[in-house]
Every structure is written in structure tokens, then in C-alpha cells.
Amino acid sequence: MKWTRLLLSLVCLITLLTPAAALAAQPTARELVIAYQPLASPGSVLMELLSRDQLLRRALARSGLTLRLHPVSNGSEAITALRKGEVTLTTLGDMPALELAATTPVTIFAQLKQNYAMVVGRKGITARELKGKRVGNVHASSSHFALLKVLQSAGLGEKDVTLVALPISQMPDALQKGTIDAFAAWEPTPSLAIANAPDRLTAIGRQSTSAYLVANRTMLERHPEVGHQVAAALLRAMGWLKEAKHLQQAVAWNLATIGELNNDSRPDQLQRIVAADLDAIRYSPRLAPLTGPRDTASLAAEFGFLKTLGKIPPHVGWEEIQRSLNRTIVDQVVRNPGHYQTSRYAYD
């Protein structure tokens, strides 16, 4: 399958770039390094545009900084890189972002998506029938959170299934071969897997998830303008992607970065997924308002759910997460569009 070949190529790409290359190229005081997941929508496309944003590069240069992207395979790898100081910012799904903020001084200042992670299996299987089955999973990821919620809805828990640790890139092929009975994954992997085998695969369940841009808090305190310039670049990227021809170009750039793709329908599929993800947050990186722990769609409710399962240390309260959320950075950029050139576009 072309999709499988692309995913295997991505595994090779990430293997080549991390962690060996990272150890050989530790960030310097003049580098701004952003970790991202090449197979996460829409974060990978947004980061592709940031890497090509001439205005961002010029703004960072005025502060004596250069920009470098650091591909990782999952949120746990990104968290490790951030804690070790190998990266200064990272894209993260909701569950890993919460777990990181509960134990590490970070700043969550921009939202990248609001979409669904899915549990995918062969047609006919229900969530209740996952009991005793092998489920592909990326630990402490947004799709892991989705799996926990899907299991809960069927009266099951994590111990009722056999979790099989797999890179997300290997999950569709493992399901087709029967190595696993289902898998939990974030977009675009589940939608693409189902689209490529609609007669065999289906979504067993899905859960609303979100993703964010998270920064080393100390770095932002020392260099506050960096956060504003990155936020401005995100606003530019989201604005530019509103036009279909720009979205098509950005997806093509992203695919060229992660591996060659032969002539098939996947670019169109990715464009639809990315557009839907950005439309869900109204093409804005502003953090969604939180209405409190009783709002089941809120980050606060997810925090409470994860804490009851022991995924968050018992001594950590929601107020600790609130201290990590910073809405001011993006809001200040939005209020000063001329200064931050949020409507100017220069990509190479």
C-alpha cells in the first residue's frame, strides 16, 4: 500500500533525524528549536509553514536567533526533548500537555487544533468487544486519552485490553496483518486508514481532542518577544491556509518533507482533514475559553478524568495547569496586527 510505504519512509526519516542527530546538534543559545510530529494534523503543516516563514526568520534574527524544527514520533519523545533542553518549544496533544504541565514549568500559549482521535478496528467490532483484544497505542498521547474514553463508554478499563506499543506509522499495516485487533490514533492516520480500506475498517469510537504549542517557561520569560513572533507566524499560517490553493501548496510541501508520494488521492484527503481541523478552531491559535471542570468538552474536565485514572499526580491541582495557560501572548499579537505583520505572507 502506498500509504504504508509512506509511513515506513517517515519512520526511517525520524530514525535518521532523532535522537542521534539531535545529540550531535544540541540547541545553542542562538537557536529556537521546535519539536513537532510530522504525521499530526494540522500541526505538521503549520510547522512546515513556520519553517518557510521569511518574516519569522527576520524577526528571530533581530533577537540573534535562528529557527530549527526537530521531528519526533510522539508526545513522550517531545516531552523528553523539552525536559532535556534539546528543544525550546513543542507541539503536544492534550493528554501529554496536561501531564507535562502537571510536573514541569511550561507555558501553553497557542492552540493548534480541535478534532477527533479515533479507535479503529475491523468492521463489525464494537467497543465492548475490545475486551481481551490487542490495541495499538502510543502511550500518554491524545489518542491514548481517546482510547481510555472509548473503553469507559463501554464499561471497560485499560486493564481489560492488551496495549501494544506501536509507532502510529505502523498501526494501519499491523491491523491489516492481524498483529493487532484495533488501534488508537490521532488525525490524519485514522481517517486515511479508513479511506484506504472502507470495506474492511471502521471507527469503533472517537473522542474530541486538542493540541497546543508549549514552551519552556524560563525561555519565554527571558525572551518574551519570541512567543509573540511565533504566535504571529501561526496567525499568518492559519490565515494563508484559508485559500484552497495555499492549502494545496502547504500540504505538498509537507508531503515532500516527510517522503515522496506517488499519484494518488491522499493529498486531497489531507487537505480536507487539515481544513476541517483549522475550521474547528476558526483559523485562530487563541486558546479556547475554559468554563470549568463541569464542562465535559474542556481541558479541565480531561484533567479531572486523567487524575481519577492516576495519570496525573494526586497532589497536583487544576490551579497548577491554569498557571501554565497563557492567553495574553496571542491576544497581544491579535490586537497589534500591523506591528506583527499578521496579514503579510512570505514563504519560500
What are residue 223's phi and psi, to 5 degrees? -130, 70
pLDDT band at 117 (very low <50, low <70, confident <90, very high): very high
How much is the pLDDT for 28? 57
Q: Which of 115, 111, 112 is nearest to 327 (CA)?
A: 111
Q: Are 161 and 135 a contacting pair, CB within 8 Å?
A: yes
Greatest C-alpha distance within the chain? 58
Question: Per residue in 3-62, pLDDT tens?
Answer: 444 444 444 444 434 443 333 345 555 899 999 998 899 999 999 999 999 999 999 999
Question: Which residues does residue 108 pair with via DSSP β-bridges, in sequence order?
Answer: 214, 325
What does the alpha-carbon distance between residue 99 and residue 233 come to, in Å, rounded to a whole number? Answer: 27
Q: Are 324 and 108 a contacting pair, CB within 8 Å?
A: yes
For residue 310, pLDDT beyond 60? yes
Report whether the peptide linkage leading into residue 314 is cis, meaning its omega lies within 30 degrees of zero.
no
Look-up: residue for cell 486531497?
Answer: 268
For residue 103, pLDDT beyond 60? yes
pLDDT band at 294 (very low <50, low <70, confident <90, very high): very low
243 exposure class (CB count in 10 Å sphere: 0-12, 13-18, 19+): exposed
For the residues 80-91, what does the mean pLDDT come to? 97
Q: Are 251 and 258 a contacting pair, CB within 8 Å?
A: no
Number of H helices, E strands in the chain: 17, 8
Q: Are 144 and 100 a contacting pair, CB within 8 Å?
A: no
Report whether the peptide linkage leading into residue 19 is cis, meaning its omega lies within 30 degrees of zero.
yes
For the residues 294-318, what does the mean pLDDT come to? 84
State pTM to two decimals: 0.86
For residue 237, pLDDT beyond 60? yes
What are residue 336's phi and psi, to 5 degrees? -130, 60
Share of the chain above pLDDT 70, in %: 88
For residue 123, pLDDT beyond 80? yes
Q: Which of 48, 19, 16 is nearest to 248 (CA)?
A: 48
Question: Per residue in 191-233, pLDDT tens?
Answer: 999 999 999 999 999 999 999 999 999 999 999 999 999 999 9
Q: Please, what is the average pLDDT of the chain?
A: 89
How much is the pLDDT for 303? 93
Domains along the chain?
2-114+211-340 (3.40.190.10), 116-208 (3.40.190.10)
pLDDT band at 266 (very low <50, low <70, confident <90, very high): confident
How much is the pLDDT for 291? 53
For the residues 122-150, what does the mean pLDDT come to? 96
